[in-house]
């Protein structure tokens, strides 16, 4: 009861600003194994966008979301779409839909997965990493923001400070070199972090960092610990 009341009180003094959704793959045919929960169909994506628009959410880029979070107020709740890892289907299947509907989105790319230099071990028989030319094509569209998601997708919280620094800083540097501009946003692989991780993303000059644990974005939220809601298709 006390917990409930505390949460109620917290929510009253920290009004809802918006929601950040976490997605991975968009595929025509979902797989049967445990990767199924990482996959949604094009129709489910369109339906989700429709539903949030009907609830009067406004779709914004991660930059605009950060702006709203920093100001701590908004007239209309925001909805921010994010994709993790960097799958080629984000370009082939999700992008045409988002382009048609005018929905901004962010892709957090694990740099080792680009052109399949490092395999995604949870899809051992497929080469699903985004290709450099697709990433560059997305990057020139103002609808798309490219963020960093480490070099090799480790759990950062069990690495040493030096190892964490390398994973975080090198992924940022690589992307910046390839894209020719700064990369300002980060998401934690597996949603895992510790107090060192937060210091490193701050030191690396990221403007925001997102974890993978559910929750809405409210006034006063830590910009380096923004919650996301995983979009799951039943
Ligand atoms: Zn990931």
Cα gap 180→196, rounded to integer Å: 28
Which pTM does this prediction carry?
0.95
Cα 211 to ligand 1 centroid, rounded to whole Å: 10
Cα 84 to ligand 1 centroid, rounded to whole Å: 5
Q: Which are the contacts of 8, defined by CB distance < 8 A and separation ≥ 6?
A: none
For residue 44, list its beta bridge partners.
Answer: none
Tens digits of residue pLDDT in 108-132: 999 999 999 999 999 988 999 999 9
Tens digits of residue pLDDT in 142-164: 999 999 999 999 999 999 999 99
Q: Which residues are in the CB-under-5-Å shell of ion ligand 1?
A: 84-85, 189
Cα 154 to ligand 1 centroid, rounded to whole Å: 9
Cα 5 to ligand 1 centroid, rounded to whole Å: 34
pLDDT of 1 above 70: no
Look up residue 97 and give its two tokens. 């839909």
Q: Which domains does the chain have, with CATH numbers?
A: 2-230 (3.20.20.370)
**pLDDT mean across residues, the chain:** 96
Neighbours of 191 (CB within 10 A): 19
Cα 76 to ligand 1 centroid, rounded to whole Å: 29
Cα 11 to ligand 1 centroid, rounded to whole Å: 29
Beta strands in the chain (DSSP E): 16-23, 25-26, 39-40, 58-59, 78-85, 105-109, 144-148, 185-187, 208-210, 217-218, 229-230
> CB–CB of 103/83 below 8 Å?
no
């Amino acid at each position: 009861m006390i917990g409930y009341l505390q949460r109620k009180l917290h929510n009253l003094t920290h009004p809802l600003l918006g929601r950040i959704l976490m997605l991975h793959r968009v595929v025509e045919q979902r797989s049967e194994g445990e990767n199924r929960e990482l996959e949604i169909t094009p129709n489910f994506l369109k339906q989700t966008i429709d539903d949030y628009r009907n609830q009067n959410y406004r779709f914004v880029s991660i930059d605009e979301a950060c702006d709203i979070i920093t100001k701590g107020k908004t007239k209309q709740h925001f909805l921010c779409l994010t994709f993790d890892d960097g799958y080629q289907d984000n370009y082939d299947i999700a992008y045409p839909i988002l382009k048609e509907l005018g929905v901004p989105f962010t892709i957090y790319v694990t740099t080792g997965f680009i052109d399949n230099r490092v395999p995604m071990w949870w899809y051992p028989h497929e080469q699903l990493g985004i290709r450099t030319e697709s990433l560059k094509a997305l990057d020139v569209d103002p609808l798309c923001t490219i963020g960093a998601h480490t070099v090799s997708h480790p759990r950062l919280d069990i690495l040493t400070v030096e190892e964490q620094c390398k994973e975080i800083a090198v992924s940022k540097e690589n992307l910046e070199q390839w894209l020719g501009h700064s990369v300002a946003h980060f998401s934690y692989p597996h949603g895992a972090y510790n107090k060192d991780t937060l210091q490193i993303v701050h030191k690396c000059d990221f403007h925001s960092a997102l974890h993978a644990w559910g929750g809405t974005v409210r006034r006063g939220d830590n910009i380096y610990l923004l919650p996301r809601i995983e979009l799951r298709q039943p």
